[in-house]
Amino acid sequence: MKNEHIFSPITLPNGVELKNRIMMAPMTTCSGFYDGSVTQDLIEYYRVRSGEIGTIIVECGFVDNKGLAFPGAIGLDSDDKIEGLAKIAKVIKEKGSKAIIQVYHGGRMVEPKLIGGQSPVGPSAIAAPRPGAATPVALTADEVDEMIDKFGQAVRRAIQAGFDGVEIHGANTYLIQQFYSPNSNQRNDKWGGNRDNRTRFPLAILDVTHNMVKQYATPEFIVGYRFSPEELEVPGIRFDDSMYLLEKLAEKGLDYIHFSMGTTLRPSIVDTQDPTPLIKKYVAMRSETLAKIPVVGVGNVVNQSDVEDAINNGYDLVAVGRACIAYPDWIDRIEKGEKLELFINSDKREELNIPEPLWHFSLVESLIRDVNLNVKKFKPGNYQEKVNDESYEFLINVELGNDFIKDIQLVNANNFDSEVLNNFTEIKHRIIDSNSPHVDAISGATTQCEAFKKAVTKAMAKSNKEAIIAEGGDPNDRAFDVVVVGSGGAGLSAAIQAHDLGANVIIIEQMSVIGGNTNKASAGMNAAETKFQKLKGIIDNKELFYKETMTGGKNKNNPELLRYFVENAPNAVNWLDANGIELSGITTTGGMSIDRTHRPESGAAVGGFLISGLVKNINKRNIEVMLDIAVTEIVTENHKVIGVKVSEEDGSTHLIKTKAVIIATGGFSANTTMVEKYRPDLKGFVTTNHKGATGSGIMLLEKLGAGTVDMGEIQIHPTVEQTTSYLISESIRGGGAILVSQKGQRFVNELDTRDNVSAEIIKLPEHYAYILFDQQVRDENRSVEEYVSNELVSQANTLEELAQKLSIDSKTLAKTVERYNQFVTAKHDEDFGRTTGMRHPIQKGPFYAIKIAPGVHHTMGGVTINTQTQVLDADKQVIQGVFAAGEVVGGVHGANRIGGNAVADIIIFGTQAGKKAADYIKH
């Protein structure tokens, strides 16, 4: 086969000429927006790969919102998608390639989490034969007709977006294949049963496609069909079944047929004794009608010889997949006679216009060759780890490649029920997809997930040490520009900022979990004069924010730090937004007169949302995080930092060399000895903090001579569930809840400062109260779902029933709520002067109550810093190379912290610490 033939034109049955025999295969990029619309990254991805190649087949577009089979899928499900899709079609065609888009529905292969927890649909209520697969809901006869129409409408949208054609996706076990498969289709109506009935759905999709082409396109519009030739399942599709269907499709008219296989010359996966490539069987078995339709081969095509082999065995066209990702100019290289290897250098993502989600998708990740010495290397192999959660011991095998996590297996899986196995499977996918153990835990199974993640972390650390030793190095001889101690919001944001300014950064965390106390934050992030306030018409100003924070802190706040805090809060909101963490929902908290508490638009608790977003940014930058390691000393020489001494989980100690240290270890609320030392009156109080909030960073810095301030200023939070130490978010009161005593009466302005509200609860004879709210507050605050799932909430359909459950006089409670509702209507609280968070009357059942009392929540005191986040000694002199941010620092909040100011504090001063540490090492 001569090179010229590969690049010669071919004419399709509809008369359209393709300029050469090469197509770019449709490949999942996972790079669409959450709603399936097109991103700029996707447009660029297709633009740079167009031009010399004859045809680009764009990844599959789902036909309805239950049809996406992978995250970041693009949609053909509504007319508002046409504009974005048109941009893809335009850039492909402008460069001179034909633009075709796949149309599909995932059917039973759709994971419920991708469609809001709903059940997927399929021809029959039979789950896919894979672990943890959801059982689909069988489509009714009417719904089958509607589904066919949805495919038709998707084709119309592809035409209106300007594509040259569509490829009907009847492969990869998606919905069209499911209707033809005797494994997934066990219906007894006209759509199922015998083989002829099972052909009806794919044939109907082809019919509706032709109808749309007649109505909206020209005869030159290309219609292709992709198929998977066999299924392993019994019963399942066999090759003669595929030939039977293809002959029927051919009679109706197609412009090409596309095999879907991992390699062009693959033999049967069912009859494993027969080595004959399926394409040869296809050529031998096809009729004259089918022989007139060009056939496309795909799979493992990298070099010209692969194309020639495919065409010599009977294919008319060849689709190139991963080689087009690695080499956007693949055809140019082949024409020049280059011999290509299938890999991508790890520093070439942006140059090759590969969207970030695709870069981390297994399709591409296995191609990446590390050229960055900062990226962690592994000694390939299997590493077995034993880990525990509260109930079980897990034996986990972690398989590692050179620089990626290859597989994770639960060795003792037989010991566990399906819920544990499903959790493991989900976490495994998250870890492998992101190539990092630092992924979101599953709600309701946090400790279990942390155990799974810890096994991977330990395996990676062990393997990394072995890799260094194998290269003749010392695994304990490590050096970084900046060491960040603590992995809460302050530490993560500091690490990201320092990295982005060119520093080589590592994060060291004494706990086995990333996130610190930030994980527990619930209300939001305060900032004034932000773009999100302006979008919602909220008029605010920084001066008012400054005054209210100073008043809340009883005028003990450090004025310079507070001024920096207030001035830079909007920039911090923007910094998060620029890094994919949008806090566009706005509410209020106690001590604030204006809605300035920024949170996720969904109403979700801010802490988990924030940490999840920051960790994704850490993973994206390959910033190393060491867990279960304590920093025991900051080592200096001639008054300059030279390293940190660390103690590992196994008791071993060593020095990590560094030029600068950022301490972001949080406060000391969980250190009862330390709390009682400074505040004996708080003996016996529960704490809302995680167990790592021990003040270790303060003690570390005090050894260096750091000064401290406000150590006795310890805030108690008024609404803490006492048996679990759960903090009930201030956003619940900010959303309209009230506090009532055991007598059923209000006793305080619920949105007064935390210290005042706490004091009023302590004054009650019973020393506790109830936070009371209705369904409307629950609807607007997703954090309530966590309280409900943890059984902290009493619930009733009426106030009278709720009063009975709480042993409160029902008439008194009814009068209290009625009086409060009148205040809401009048926008004036005659009893306690409440002015904020009076959003709507408490009247929409069901009604809810949570029993609460104060708990130790925040330590306002800590080490002294300046606005550059440099740590100061007892004489207010700078300790060179040492920076601090977050709750480890004192002075920002004075004698009382306003709700929502802690999250602002960690981002404002965290990013400043990252910037100043990076500046320091440069100069």
Q: Which of 856, 876, 911 is the last residue of a domain?
A: 856
Q: Is 547 found in the same domain as 595?
A: yes
Determine which of 244-248, 393-397, 433-437, 804-808 has the lowest per-residue pLDDT on average.
433-437
Which two tokens mark 667? 């406060």
Nearest 5°: phi and psi at 137? -90, 125
Q: Is 634 found in the same domain as 700?
A: yes
Residue 752 placed within a domain: yes
Residues linked to residue 128 through DSSP beta bridges, in sequence order: none
Residue 495 placed within a domain: no
Percentage with pLDDT > 90 across the chain: 79
- pLDDT of res. 372: 42
- Choice between 250 and 345, residue whose per-residue pLDDT is larger: 250
pLDDT at 444 over 80: no
Secondary structure class of 282 (helix, strand, coil): helix
Q: Is 523 found in the same domain as 431?
A: no
pLDDT at 789 over 60: yes
Element (H, E) at 565: helix 559-578
- pLDDT of res. 631: 96
Q: Is 153 found in the same domain as 140?
A: yes
pLDDT at 22 over 60: yes
Q: Is 437 found in the same domain as 302?
A: no
pLDDT at 391 over 60: yes
Determine which of 327-341, 488-502, 655-669 has the lowest per-residue pLDDT on average.
327-341
- pLDDT of res. 440: 84
pLDDT at 368 over 80: no
State how far the Cα of 692 lies from the Cα of 641, in Å rounded to an integer.
25
Nearest 5°: phi and psi at 772? -120, 135
Secondary structure class of 399 (helix, strand, coil): strand
- pLDDT of res. 2: 45
Nearest 5°: phi and psi at 565? -55, -55
Burial of residue 51, with CB atoms counted within 10 A of its CB: 0-12 exposed, 13-18 middle, 19 or more buried: middle
- Interval 72-128: pLDDT, tens: 899 999 999 999 999 999 999 999 999 999 999 999 999 998 888 899 999 999 999
Q: Is 731 found in the same domain as 674?
A: no
State how far the Cα of 787 lies from the Cα of 727, in Å rounded to an integer.
9
- Selection from 103, 101, 97 nearest residue 22 by Cα: 97
- 256-259 and 295-298 as β-strands: parallel, antiparallel, unpaired? parallel
State how far the Cα of 647 lies from the Cα of 427, in Å rounded to an integer.
28
State how far the Cα of 722 lies from the Cα of 718, in Å rounded to an integer.
11
Q: At what angle do helices 606-620 and 901-922 cross, to 10 degrees?
A: 20
Please identify which residue in the block is written with the tokens 């940014």: 617
Residue 609 placed within a domain: yes
Element (H, E) at 467: helix 446-470
Average pLDDT across the chain, whole number: 93
Nearest 5°: phi and psi at 560? -65, -45
pLDDT at 3 over 70: no
CA 538 to chain centre: 30
Residue 482 placed within a domain: no
Q: Is 389 found in the same domain as 277?
A: no
Region 663-685: what's the mean pLDDT?
94
Residues linked to residue 58 through DSSP beta bridges, in sequence order: 101
Which two tokens mark 266? 């693959």
What is the rounded end-to-end Cα distance, in angstroms, of the chain?
62
Q: Is 789 found in the same domain as 913?
A: no
Residue 164 placed within a domain: yes
Q: At what angle do helices 195-216 and 239-252 cross, to 10 degrees?
A: 30
The alpha-carbon radius of gyration of the chain (Å, integer) is 31
State how far the Cα of 521 lies from the Cα of 610, in Å rounded to an integer.
9
Which two tokens mark 615? 């960790």
pLDDT at 910 over 70: yes
- pLDDT of res. 113: 84
- pLDDT of res. 373: 36
Residue 484 placed within a domain: no
Determine which of 209-213, 578-582, 802-806 has the lowest per-residue pLDDT on average.
578-582
Burial of residue 378, with CB atoms counted within 10 A of its CB: 0-12 exposed, 13-18 middle, 19 or more buried: buried
- H-type alpha helices, 579-713: 606-620, 672-678, 696-703
pLDDT at 376 over 70: no
Q: Is 241 found in the same domain as 388?
A: no
For 288-434, where are the E strands, in sequence order?
A: 295-298, 317-320, 344-345, 368-369, 381-388, 393-400, 405-410
Region 373-402: what's the mean pLDDT?
85
- pLDDT of res. 509: 95
- Interval 581-628: pLDDT, tens: 999 999 998 889 999 999 998 888 899 899 999 998 998 888 999 999
- Selection from 872, 880, 916 nearest residue 642 by Cα: 880
Residue 754 annotated in active site: yes
Secondary structure class of 562 (helix, strand, coil): helix
Q: In the chain, what are the helix, strand and coil shares in percent, each to the nearest 5?
A: 35, 20, 45
Q: Which of 323, 339, 368 is the last residue of a domain?
A: 368
Residue 555 placed within a domain: yes
Domain count, the chain: 4
In this structure, are residues 283 and 314 in contact, taking their beta carbons and an 8 Å threshold? yes
- pLDDT of res. 522: 82
Burial of residue 566, with CB atoms counted within 10 A of its CB: 0-12 exposed, 13-18 middle, 19 or more buried: buried
- Choice between 341 and 525, residue whose per-residue pLDDT is larger: 525
Q: Is 833 found in the same domain as 869?
A: no
Which two tokens mark 467? 């890799």
Region 267-293: what's the mean pLDDT?
95
Convert 140-154 to b/e letters by CB count within 10 Å (16 or more is b): eeeebeebbebbbbb
Convert 228-258 to b/e letters by CB count within 10 Å (16 or more is b): bbbbeeeebbbbebbbbbbebbbeeebbbbb
pLDDT at 374 over 50: no
- Interval 752-769: pLDDT, tens: 988 899 999 999 999 999
Amino acid at 854: P
Cα-Cα-Cα-Cα torsion 323, 324, 328, 330, nearest 10 degrees, comes to: 60
- CATH code, domain carrying 280: 3.20.20.70
- Selection from 61, 192, 28, 36 nearest residue 122 by Cα: 192
- Interval 501-560: pLDDT, tens: 999 999 999 998 899 999 888 889 999 999 999 999 999 999 999 999 999 999 999 999
CB atoms within 10 A of CB 277: 21
- pLDDT of res. 347: 72
- Selection from 735, 770, 769, 730 nearest residue 753 by Cα: 730
3-state SS, one letter per residue, for 592-607: CCCCCEEECCCCCCHH
Percentage with pLDDT > 70 across the chain: 99
pLDDT at 424 over 70: yes
pLDDT level of residue 4 (50, 70, 90 thresholds): low
Q: Is 297 found in the same domain as 155?
A: yes
State how far the Cα of 798 lies from the Cα of 13, in Å rounded to an integer.
70
State how far the Cα of 712 lies from the Cα of 682, in Å rounded to an integer.
11
Q: Is 754 found in the same domain as 650?
A: no
In this structure, are residues 871 and 864 in contact, taking their beta carbons and an 8 Å threshold? yes
- pLDDT of res. 537: 94
- Selection from 98, 101, 36, 26 nearest residue 64 by Cα: 36
Region 799-812: what's the mean pLDDT?
97
Region 229-236: what's the mean pLDDT?
94
- Domain, as residue range, for 721: 716-856
pLDDT level of residue 1 (50, 70, 90 thresholds): very low
State how far the Cα of 437 lies from the Cα of 205, in Å rounded to an integer.
42
Catalytic residue, candidates 187, 754, 778, 834: 754
- CATH code, domain carrying 825: 3.90.700.10
- CATH code, domain carrying 444: 3.90.1010.20
Residue 492 placed within a domain: no
Q: Which of 827, 856, 885 is the last residue of a domain?
A: 856
- CATH code, domain carrying 709: 3.50.50.60
Determine which of 46-60, 149-163, 343-357, 611-625 has the lowest per-residue pLDDT on average.
343-357
pLDDT level of residue 370 (50, 70, 90 thresholds): low
In this structure, are residues 888 and 863 in contact, taking their beta carbons and an 8 Å threshold? yes
Cis status of the peptide bond prior to 235, with omega within 30 of 0: yes
Q: Could you please report the per-residue DSSP string of 163-199?
A: -SEEEEEE-TT-HHHHHH-TTT----STTSSSHHHHH
